[in-house]
Structure 1
Amino acid sequence: MSTWLELLLRDASADEVEAHRTALLADGSSTDVEAEARRALQLSALLRERAHRAAELAALSEMAGRLTSVRNLPELLTDVARLARQLLRTDVAYLALLDGDVLRIKYFDGRLGPAFREIELSITAGLAGRIVSTGLPSWTADYLADPSFEHAPVADELAGNEQLRGILGVPLHAQGSTFGVLFVSDRAARPFADHEVSLLAGLAGHAAVAVENARLFDAERRAAEELRASASGVARAIVLHERLTEAAVRGGGPAAVVQALSEVLDVAVQLVDADDRPLVGTDDVSERPSQHFAGGQRRAVVLPGAPPVVLCPVVAAEDYLGCLIVRGGGVADEAEVRLLERGALGIALSLVQERALDDAAARSQGELLAALVEGGEPGVLDKRAAAMRVDLRRPHVVVVVEPHDPTCRAACAEIARRAGGLAVDRGSRTVVLVPAPTSLTPLADLGTAGVSAAVTGAAALPAAYDEASRCLRALLALGRRGTVGGAAALGLYRFLLAPGGVDEGAEFVRRTVGPLLDHDAAKGTDLAPTLEEYLAGGRQHSATAERLHIHPNTLYQRLNRITAVLGDAWREPDPALDLLLALRLHRLSAAL
């Protein structure tokens, strides 16, 4: 028969101990069988409890080892909830982390409803408030029925919906402060023993260390990534600086800078001017960047979309010169935008340099053309023109333009540039010198232009300028707005531009309508303009009166006075034609 000690050594069950007690009583071998049996049962229970706790501690140690190997914070916190539920054999486990002045439930394990996620718990009320305020574990056997703490409505509603009763919570500490609470809960009333509280607190301690390590690891990883990105950004900035310097030294202009940006950023870059006209890159400018910078905004703008579009203004002082456009390619982050802005500065310097050179060239060309049309030493002027690649040995024409459109001056400059000529503004008009023949058709919609005959050499240009000027004045006097042409454009009036033509015209005018002009001068009347309008309008009384803004009777009175001055013959067809021609010549002579 086995002894009590043998039974305990082989971890006999309670039934085996009871069978041994019955057998000893039947043999009558001992008077202390009942006492020995009780001691054996107590010792067996104690040994079993210690073995269970040893198993729990071993499991806790194993769990702690697993937690130290997890570096992803969300994954780590999910594992903590799962291990807590396994360790204490509860229905659910969850973590509430401090978020400002509330605890937010974010990680849990067990069967819970969707409303459980992102629930906010008060840090001043309820079981969670007690744990946060004291920094100590706390539990309740039946949460809703426990009056020992102030209940929070949100927590009570949550416990009621999920039927949570027995709840144990332990704080999560790091660097001397509480950053969350680890809870386990059963859906039945359950008191928690001290060793269970210690067990969960031990897991919470290991979890807090693991969480802090994961946070430090994550911070270190982010710092390393930022350092690598910063190093990469510095390297690219150095490359871009070298490329910009090379472009500036070689005079590559904005196109070279845009190419350098495209290669450094590894994305297509487009440059447009201040009016959204493409300068470098694709012709598509659907973003209309000038509208984004019309209010004085001078920093890059990221337009949301798939992919996003970055607009980086090109600015010199306060002048908006244009914009760099990048569509997609991952250039919306700050480092990429800074590189783009650096490139925009290089383009601004290049554009300002080009503008200064263009202005200097325009001033030199303007001074030369002014000297050519005003007259000077022909030999010197020919050499100055040749130095600007204007060969006056070739036939050239002088064009004097009266602009009717704001873009007319720019069009004149472009025609001169393309033809290898010169252009300059003189007062309200523009003077152009271009080789013959050069198409001047684009000017017809922008202004009226008088054109000289083709001449060669600097010595002939002052007379050509005078001819073009007189031709322009004649065209304007005849009301031929928008006409571009020389003497031929004047029709039968072109003889006025010939030598002596003005004198001959004046003699014809004096012989034909001299008395009428003298009458107007002496009496202060408007008979000559009335007669011209009447004859030009086909002798239509009502229409003429309407154009002159006078009553028909007034017109009849004026015609009668004209008859009194010129006689009845003016009404005949041939004299009437001479009169109309003489009146127009008079007006043209005044203009010339």
Structure 2
Amino acid sequence: MDSVERAETKVRDFLDDESLGLRIIVRGDLDLPVSWVHVTELLDPSDYVSGGEFILSAGIWNASEDRAGSFVAALARAGVSALGWGLLLGSESVPEGIVRACHEHALTLVEIPTRTPFIALGRWFFERSQRIREAGLRRDIERNERFVRSISSLPGGLRGILDALSETTGLPVRVVDASGRTLAGSPANGSAGPGTTRSFDLSAGDGSRVKLVIGLPDGEPLREDQLSAARQAMPLIEFVISYERELREAEKRLAGELVEAVLARRTLFAAGRLSAYGLEPEGEFIGSVALPERAEDLAAVLEVARRSLAPLGPGVVVATGKRDVTVFVQTAGRTPEEVGERLGAVCGVGSGCFVGVGERASGVEGLRRSLVQARQAAALAARRGHPKGSRGGYLVHGRAESYTLLLALGDEDVLASFRETLLGPLEEYDRRRGSDLTGTLAAFLASGGKWQETADRLHIHVNTLRHRLARCEELTGRSLDSMDSRVDLYVALKSREATGEVPG
């Protein structure tokens, strides 16, 4: 680092400049910083100095032996950095009493030649201080411009400014929330892993707090320039966090309004909002829904859904409702299974989540149909846990049997009453007699009403089957010759399976 760029001027800087012609007489601590250059001819100037000064004197106060000791002792008590003794005549030298006193107090003593007036030293210090301040200001401005540019340049946002801070300091940096979860981070290129950290509290803009965490190699503190860069970046980090949070909230509201408009068939409004998102209203869409088991997991599901779908590009809208997260994608050749695979990442969030995916459809009305299908599939997934046709934690609407989707839409109490009315007498009979009329009826209906096929499957004579099914008709009050009765009994049996009530 150039000497002019140092944050302070030290005693040795005066000596290093040969144009000043200074000669060291007593070598004290040459690395002491100099706060100011001060001329005095007082025997005790301590009331007029505050420490760190480079004192200039020519001994007009009478540098006799006894007074020399008092003068230097007063300077040492005041904490000055050095004493410069000005020669008035070319042939003279610094008085021996001053030299001995400076040795005694380990105070740097410098001889100033007659060709160097005191004002030249004051001007040199002032001009150097101005250059240091100007260099620091330029450095701060350039660094601030780099930080500001990083917000809008790729990767941009919080990650962008953390990348810039990491590059500036040469250290890994990250921002964590109150729970310690990393919101964004950037490793230092080519640096060893951090042994310790230093953290700074930041405002997240909504009353909550986050921390800027800087990784440090073992045993090394933050350098002054690294600390300065971190403090300069902090207000921008707070701004970006607050801005991105407000942006997400605004996006969430807009996305929610769009989903409501699609489902409510407000076609013109929905088409306009789709265009505002950069989507083609008449294009092809796939709708999907993620249904958390617990409402308190909704925010986490929303965040995971955003991250998992980000690789699909800008043609994705993610909205949150009171109970679920709704997503739709402008397909660009994508399949419901591809969307389901990505959104299925939310299934492990919290206590679990069920994902339903609709079929591909075109236009606003097609999008509505796909979203309705997705909600039906998610409801079925939630009811069944791992329904037939599900893969990787999601269920595609077109892969589920139609009756299971109808069951998913029904009220559980109504379905329970329906099952009890139709199947209760059979189940009670089986419990009392140790028979399996319910299983026989299920096998018959599953075969499509084929007598011999059912008898063969159950390993019974067809007359035995007829006898059992006649008893089923008697107990349920339903005729198996009636298609309506067969449908009712089939749905009741499937509803029974969905609840896990099938005897093992």
Q: TM-score, normalised by structure 2?
A: 0.51
Residue matched to 2:259: 369
Question: Structure 1 236/381 Cα, relative in aligned 2: closer, same or farther at 3 Å?
Answer: same
Question: Structure 1 483/325 Cα, relative in aligned 2: closer, same or farther at 3 Å?
Answer: closer
Give the SS at the match of 2:245: helix
Pairwise CA RMSD: 5.7
Question: Structure 1 469/350 Cα, relative in aligned 2: closer, same or farther at 3 Å?
Answer: closer
1:80-125 CA deviation, whole Å, 9 max, x = no partner?
Answer: xxxxxxxxxxxxxxxxxxxxxxxxxxxxxxxxxxxxxxxxxxxxxx
The 2-side partners of 1:530 and 1:457 are apart by: 54
Question: Structure 1 516/261 Cα, relative in aligned 2: closer, same or farther at 3 Å?
Answer: closer
Residue matched to 2:3: none
- Are 1:440 and 2:350 matched, yes or no? no
1:130-160 CA deviation, whole Å, 9 max, x = no partner?
Answer: xxxxxxxxxxxxxxxxxxxxxxxxxxxxxxx
How many residue pairs get aligned? The number is: 342
- How far the C-alpha of 1:310 sits from its partner, in A, is 5.4
Q: 1:402 aligns with which of 267, 291, 294?
A: 291
What is the 5 A alignment of 1:68-87?
69-73=24-28
Residue matched to 1:64: none
Question: Structure 1 270/335 Cα, relative in aligned 2: closer, same or farther at 3 Å?
Answer: closer
- How far the C-alpha of 1:580 sits from its partner, in A, is 7.5
Give the SS at the match of 1:73: coil
- Are 1:175 and 2:71 matched, yes or no? yes
Residue matched to 1:431: 326
Give the SS at the match of 2:319: strand
Contact 2:358 2:374 in 1 (8 A): yes
- How far the C-alpha of 1:372 sits from its partner, in A, is 1.1
1:486-536 CA deviation, whole Å, 9 max, x = no partner?
Answer: 3454347457489xx99xxx99x97x974545x79xxxxx959989xx979
Question: Match of 2:339, as an amino acid?
Answer: S
- Are 1:273 and 2:178 matched, yes or no? no
Q: 1:458 aligns with which of 364, 368, 371?
A: 364
The 1-side partners of 2:339 and 2:259 are apart by: 20
Contact 1:516 1:528 in 2 (8 A): no
Q: Name the structure with the higher helix share.
A: 1
Question: Structure 1 216/341 Cα, relative in aligned 2: closer, same or farther at 3 Å?
Answer: farther
- Are 1:411 and 2:411 matched, yes or no? no
Residue matched to 1:380: 269
- How far the C-alpha of 1:416 sits from its partner, in A, is 4.5
The 1-side partners of 2:99 and 2:149 are apart by: 59
Q: 1:354 aligns with which of 236, 241, 244?
A: 244
- How far the C-alpha of 1:429 sits from its partner, in A, is 1.5
- How far the C-alpha of 1:279 sits from its partner, in A, is 3.5
Question: Match of 1:485, as an amino acid?
Answer: L
The 2-side partners of 1:493 and 1:224 are apart by: 89
What is the 5 A alignment of 1:4-403?
69-73=24-28, 173-175=69-71, 206-209=99-102, 211=104, 214-215=107-108, 227=129, 232-244=135-147, 253-254=157-158, 257-258=161-162, 261=165, 267-274=169-176, 275-276=181-182, 279-282=185-188, 287=194, 303=196, 311-312=199-200, 314-316=202-204, 319-323=208-212, 325=214, 327=216, 332-334=222-224, 336-376=226-266, 378-403=267-292
Question: Match of 2:319, as an amino acid?
Answer: V
Residue matched to 2:400: 490
Contact 2:174 2:184 in 1 (8 A): yes
Question: Match of 1:239, as an amino acid?
Answer: E
Question: Structure 1 241/474 Cα, relative in aligned 2: closer, same or farther at 3 Å?
Answer: closer
The 1-side partners of 2:29 and 2:358 are apart by: 86
1:344-372 CA deviation, whole Å, 9 max, x = no partner?
Answer: 22222233223322332232122112211
Gaps of 5+ in 1: 1-67, 76-169, 181-201, 289-302, 304-308, 521-525, 540-561, 570-574
The 2-side partners of 1:587 and 1:424 are apart by: 33
- How far the C-alpha of 1:341 sits from its partner, in A, is 0.7
Contact 1:394 1:456 in 2 (8 A): yes
Aligned-pair identity (%): 16
Give the SS at the match of 1:397: strand
- How far the C-alpha of 1:257 sits from its partner, in A, is 4.2
- Are 1:421 and 2:323 matched, yes or no? no
The 1-side partners of 2:184 and 2:163 are apart by: 15
- How far the C-alpha of 1:404 sits from its partner, in A, is 4.7
Give the SS at the match of 1:399: strand
Question: Match of 1:367, as an amino acid?
Answer: E
Question: Structure 1 392/205 Cα, relative in aligned 2: closer, same or farther at 3 Å?
Answer: closer
1:535-556 CA deviation, whole Å, 9 max, x = no partner?
Answer: 79999xxxxxxxxxxxxxxxxx
The 2-side partners of 1:213 and 1:340 are apart by: 38
The 2-side partners of 1:400 and 1:454 are apart by: 14
The 1-side partners of 2:24 and 2:192 are apart by: 53
Question: Match of 1:440, as an amino acid?
Answer: G
Give the SS at the match of 1:427: coil
Which protein, 1 or 2, shows the higher relative CO under an 8 Å CA cutoff with sep ≥ 6? 2
1:211-255 CA deviation, whole Å, 9 max, x = no partner?
Answer: 56934669x99x999957666544422433454566679896446
- How far the C-alpha of 1:388 sits from its partner, in A, is 0.5
Q: 1:468 aligns with which of 369, 374, 381?
A: 374
The 2-side partners of 1:484 and 1:382 are apart by: 28
Question: Structure 1 473/257 Cα, relative in aligned 2: closer, same or farther at 3 Å?
Answer: closer
Contact 1:493 1:585 in 2 (8 A): no
Question: Structure 1 528/178 Cα, relative in aligned 2: closer, same or farther at 3 Å?
Answer: farther
Question: Match of 2:475, as an amino acid?
Answer: L
The 2-side partners of 1:487 and 1:581 are apart by: 19
Give the SS at the match of 1:402: strand
Gaps of 5+ in 2: 1-22, 31-65, 77-94, 112-120, 441-470, 479-484, 500-504
- Are 1:566 and 2:455 matched, yes or no? no
